[in-house]
Amino acid sequence: MNETIIKKLESRMTEAKAWRLENSETGHFLDVVFSLNLEDKMRNKRNFSFNRFESEQLN
């Protein structure tokens, strides 16, 4: 059975987070880097959409 391991990588990058997806059987891995600026923009957009939806439900 294949297991996928997800690890947070120690990153010296201040503008991004790095994660590693690793297959425990084969040793293959994929490093994924998330931009913190993009994450903040997505969070703000999601909160704005939720707030708008909530206000429409109250009216």
Q: Write down the pTM of the prediction.
A: 0.56
What are the sequence ranges of the domains in the chain? 4-58
| Bridge partners (DSSP) listed for residue 46 | none
What's residue 7's pLDDT?
93
Give per-residue pLDDT as tens, 25-45.
Answer: 999 999 998 888 888 888 888
Confidence of residue 1 (pLDDT cuts 50, 70, 90): low
Q: What angle do CA 7, 12, 18 make, to 5 degrees?
A: 30
Average pLDDT over residues 10-39: 88
The answer for residues whose C-beta is within 8 angstroms of residue 1's C-beta and 6 or more apart is none
Residue 13 reports pLDDT greater than 90: no
Convert 19-42 into a string of H (helix), E (strand) and C (coil): EEEEECCCCCEEEEEEEHHHHHHH
